Amino acid sequence: MGKNADEHCIKERLEQLRCHFTWALLIADTEMPDLENRILDEIEFLDTKYNAGIHNLLAYVKHLKGQNEEALESLKKAEELIQQEQADRSHLRSLVTWGNYAWVYYHMGRLAEAQTYLDRVENTCKKCGNGSRYRIECPEMDCEEGWALLKCGGQNYGRAKACFEKALEVDPENPEFSTGYAITIYRLDDVTIETQRKGYSLQPLRQAIRLNPEDVYIKVLLALKLQDVGKEDEGEKYIEEALAGTSSQTYVFRHVGRFYRRKGSLDKALQFLEKALQATPTSVFLHHQIGLCYRAQVIQIKGGTNKQLRGQERKKANRMIKSAIFYLESAVEQKPTFAIAYIHLASMYIEAGDYGKAEDVYQKALSIKPLEEDHEQEIHLHYGRFQEFQRKSEVDAITHYLKAIKIEKESFSRNRSIDSLEKLASKKLQRKASDVEGLSLLGFIHKLKGKINEALEYYERALRLTGDLNPMF
């Protein structure tokens, strides 16, 4: 009974801590292998002054995999790095590590050791004059939470942004807080084409470089952002600066490869991406980027048209399609929640004429849970186009265009779905002017566009043909 009471008391104290176990990090089980690979790659290949946090995160991942002894080893490494890197603020930086220690020991049933680390946290909170026994409010803790959220995937980025903003309110010139904030805004920018082009992260990235002039990783992100907003030449200068350095080269090559892929210099892009892949062969990012390079080469061979290829051109295109499929399959195999990679993979199966495989890929993409709204819109758009043009099923195409449209988040994919639906409805009316579904669809589209008089006109025409007072859409 005494042991159960102790365990209950310790659990209550643990829940007050600020650490990886209490930050509600959203990590799908299927994403765990990719997350662990990315953490290990970062430890080995990313030169940064802020290394302790990544070892803390690795400890948490090890615990989730049931490897508590390995988790303790990672926490020991984090503690050593804090002493080396943050000696002046080590008591604050250590709070997260001590909290993680306490949780791991608790899960191992080693309650006395868990209590030892709880005591360390409590003593530090007392020294800092903190109101809570086991929690402390300080920018260093906000920063640690921000890094953890940032590393754990897109569904956590909004909360990461809030953490870094809170830290910067206290210390706006802090290089680490500035770096974390800039990377977070860049990632949020990178979610859709619309946000990419708005360039919200330009100013934070420039500020981070001002405070971290030697950080080549930030330089390549700034280069990509400048490319997004139409300043590719300025971006290339930062690419050259990053390549001239010797630190974080594997990470530099990754993003340089992406820069040149988007520029259309595909052979050059592949050189950098393949170099990076040699160092980090399990990188989902690299498999995806290399797959996109081969996909772009197929589009180049076809000249951006749907012309029928013959002879050597056909053979070359088939080789590129096969390579693209290989790398894109690797990406989704290692990260089964990688929605956009499924769309790219399906497009290559369509190019190969394997509609059965394309269908399977779309079904896998649609089954991802949870699926971000803009990704869901994009999948429905592309699946709708597949149904319309390859499967010749207008009924299914309409279903998926409507599904994309009815997710009311404004996006490029939603607008394209509206355009695709409008073209399909117009085709139906060209074939048969009294097509009720075509009239109702155009009424719905004009209503979406705010053209109420035109919408009413189409709905009334449909009504005259059916006598039904309720429009179909």
Which tens digits make up the pLDDT trace of 328-344?
A: 999 999 999 999 999 99
Which tens digits make up the pLDDT trace of 434-473?
A: 999 999 999 999 999 999 999 999 999 999 998 665 556 6
Alpha carbon distance 88, 90 (integer Å): 6
Spatial CB neighbours of 77, under 8 Å, sequence gap ≥ 6: 55
Residue 231 pLDDT exceeds 50: yes
Q: What average pLDDT does the segment 64-87 reach?
A: 91
Q: What average pLDDT does the segment 245-252 reach?
A: 94
Q: Is CATH 3.30.1330.20 the right assignment for the domain spanning 161-247?
A: no
Record the tokens describing residue 39, joined without a space.
Answer: 């953490």
Burial class of residue 231, CB neighbours in 10 A (0-12, 13-18, 19+): middle
Task: Output the pLDDT for position 305.
Answer: 64
Q: Which of 100-109, 296-305, 370-379, 394-403 shows the lowest mean pLDDT across its residues?
A: 296-305
Which tens digits make up the pLDDT trace of 99-117?
A: 999 999 999 999 999 999 9
Q: What average pLDDT does the segment 160-182 reach?
A: 97
Sign of CA dihedral 209, 82, 250, 35: negative
Alpha carbon distance 448, 458 (integer Å): 13
Task: Output the pLDDT for position 268.
Answer: 98
Task: Output the pLDDT for position 409.
Answer: 92
Residue count of the chain:
473
Give one DSSP letter per residue of 82-121, joined into a string. HHHH-GGGHHHHHHHHHHHHHHHHHHTT-HHHHHHHHHHH
HSE value, Cβ hemisphere, 13 Å, CA-based, for 197: 5
Q: What average pLDDT does the segment 181-209 reach?
A: 89
Task: Output the pLDDT for position 310.
Answer: 84
Reported as a pLDDT band with limits 50, 70 and 90, residue 198 is confident
HSE value, Cβ hemisphere, 13 Å, CA-based, for 271: 5
Q: Report pTM.
A: 0.93
Task: Output the pLDDT for position 28.
Answer: 87
Residue 394 pLDDT exceeds 60: yes
Record the tokens describing residue 15, joined without a space.
Answer: 């829940």
Q: What average pLDDT does the segment 221-247 reach?
A: 96
Task: Output the pLDDT for position 90.
Answer: 74
Which CATH code is given to the segment(s) 2-136? 1.25.40.10
Q: What average pLDDT does the segment 57-86 reach?
A: 94
User: In angstroms, how far apart are the furthest CA atoms of the chain?
Assistant: 82
Residue 194 pLDDT exceeds 60: yes
Quick check: 144 and 53 in contact, CB under 8 A? yes
394-to-350, 384, 397, 402 alpha-carbon distances in Å: 18, 9, 5, 12
Residue 7 pLDDT exceeds 60: yes
What is the chain's percent helix, strand, coil content, to nearest 5? Answer: 75, 0, 25
Task: Output the pLDDT for position 315.
Answer: 94
Which tens digits make up the pLDDT trace of 123-153?
A: 999 988 766 899 999 999 999 999 999 999 9
Per-chain mean pLDDT for the chain: 94
Alpha carbon distance 204, 189 (integer Å): 12
Reported as a pLDDT band with limits 50, 70 and 90, residue 84 is confident
Nearest Cα residue to 205 out of 279, 228, 193? 228
Q: How many helices (H) and strands (E) does the chain have?
A: 24, 0
Alpha carbon distance 50, 30 (integer Å): 27
Reported as a pLDDT band with limits 50, 70 and 90, residue 6 is confident
Which tens digits make up the pLDDT trace of 260-273?
A: 999 999 999 999 99
Nearest Cα residue to 118 out of 135, 102, 142, 137? 102
Task: Output the pLDDT for position 1.
Answer: 37
Alpha carbon distance 442, 457 (integer Å): 10
Task: Output the pLDDT for position 270.
Answer: 98
Alpha carbon distance 378, 412 (integer Å): 9
Q: What average pLDDT does the segment 159-164 reach?
A: 98
Reported as a pLDDT band with limits 50, 70 and 90, residue 88 is low
Task: Output the pLDDT for position 290.
Answer: 98
Task: Output the pLDDT for position 138.
Answer: 92
CATH 1.25.40.10 residue spans of the chain: 2-136, 161-247
First to last CA, the chain: 64
Alpha carbon distance 266, 407 (integer Å): 35
Quick check: 405 and 414 in contact, CB under 8 A? yes
Record the tokens describing residue 377, joined without a space.
Answer: 């819109």
Quick check: 121 and 99 in contact, CB under 8 A? yes
Residue 9 pLDDT exceeds 70: yes
